[in-house]
Amino acid sequence: MASGRRDYTLGYLNETATGARKTTSFSYNSGGTCLVGNVKTILSYKVPKGYRLGINRIHVSTSSQSDNYFYVIAGPSTIANQYFSQNIELTYSDQNPYYLSAGYYVEVVVYNTDDIDAPFVSTLIGVLENIS
């Protein structure tokens, strides 16, 4: 029988890559009133120079009970476009967020289909990574 340290030990060792980037939890809220039958950008965020943004969630809510429409523009792409009633959440996993490079915008645009003006609020949740 061998003696000494075993090659395999049960347990968990927390490791960090030597070139790991500095990350910060990130959230951004914005909103406004959208007039009847109009389109309005309720959230607009530009990723600052030297950073990249990992989007985990985008939440949109309103007091309007109609089927309202929203779309999300992230950089050069439209990543969501659909109808919703009162609340909707676009979700990416924490392990695999939707990344945007510095200089790109995230915009949440809503279309009010109700017969009254309605307030809309949007929240962007993710991770801001320092890449400089």
Residues in the chain: 132
pTM reported for the whole predicted model: 0.80
Q: Map out the domains of the chain as residue ranges.
A: 22-130
In angstroms, the CA 99 to CA 52 distance is 7
Q: Count of CB atoms within 10 A of residue 34's CB?
A: 24
Measured in whole angstroms, the distance separating CA 80 from the mean position of its chain's CA atoms is 11
Q: Is the pLDDT of residue 24 over 50?
A: yes
CATH domain 22-130 topology: Jelly Rolls (2.60.120)
Residue 9: per-residue pLDDT: 47
Give tens-digit pLDDT for 28-63: 999 999 999 999 999 999 999 999 999 999 999 999
pLDDT band at 7 (very low <50, low <70, confident <90, very high): low
